[in-house]
Amino acid sequence: MSLSLKLLFLLVFVACMIIMGSNLRKKKKKIIFLGDSITELGVRPGGYVTVVSDFVRDADASEKVELVGSGISGNKVTDIERRLAQDVLLREPQVVVLFVGVNDIWHKQKHGTGTSLDLFVQCFESIVQKMHNANIKVVACTPAVIGENGMENKEEWDELEAYGKGIKDVSAHYDIPVVDLHAAFKNYYEINNTGHLDEGVLTTDGVHLNAAGNRLVAEEIWKVLKHFI
């Protein structure tokens, strides 16, 4: 082989290595936000996923992280379990923020089509286990609120506590962090809802988040999520 041909092969090899190295550097850590309409709305301007994206930018991590919203209105834990393979596992994220439970309780109270606590915990654990087996890091969130006045919505709030405990128990078994949004909302209301309003403080309708609610959810999630970036 002539010297010029050897040199050409060497140059091609070096160029390929540079391209490969560049591609590796550009590959971002994918974080999926998995949930219901609260997450579906969360990717809009001012939504909690968008606010988390602002935090990522402020931390100079935008080149390292890709945030993906995967929220579908009306989803309960059973719906998320059914679409987990297509919407999460096949996309190979490194981290998933799992925010589910409101519809499982709310629809039960409102339409009789919710999810029993036993089935909720069973499905939630199945979801977590599948992601655990795929080496995906999980950040679990408790469902935040159904009605902003705890006295008028005691039955719903008691259910939020029970389903939240189920989330915490499963999360403890798999050693994954929990963002206790229900506790954060309750603490906020003690100071900022002295008029005992049922909506308009952190939500638009007692469930879906307004600007302040999106901000609070984003801040609480970021406290945990920033350690995965």
pLDDT tens across 34-63, in order? Answer: 999 999 999 999 999 999 999 999 999 999
- Distance from C-alpha of 179 to C-alpha of 101, rounded to nearest angstrom: 13
Q: Which pLDDT score is estimated for 27?
A: 81
Please tell me what DSSP assigns to residue 28.
P
Cα angle 213, 188, 77; round to 5: 55
Looking at every residue in the chain, the average pLDDT score rounds to: 91
Q: Which pLDDT score is estimated for 109?
A: 73
150-183 per-position pLDDT tens digit? 999 999 999 999 999 999 999 999 999 999 999 9
Ramachandran bin of 136, using left for φ above 0, alpha for ψ from -120 to 50, beta for the remaining angles: beta
Q: Which pLDDT score is estimated for 16?
A: 46
What residues of the chain score a pLDDT lower than 50?
Answer: 3, 5-6, 8, 10-12, 14-25
| CB-based contacts of 222, cutoff 8 Å, min separation 6 | 52, 55
- Distance from C-alpha of 22 to C-alpha of 32, rounded to nearest angstrom: 24
- Distance from C-alpha of 35 to C-alpha of 60, rounded to nearest angstrom: 26
Q: Which pLDDT score is estimated for 22?
A: 45
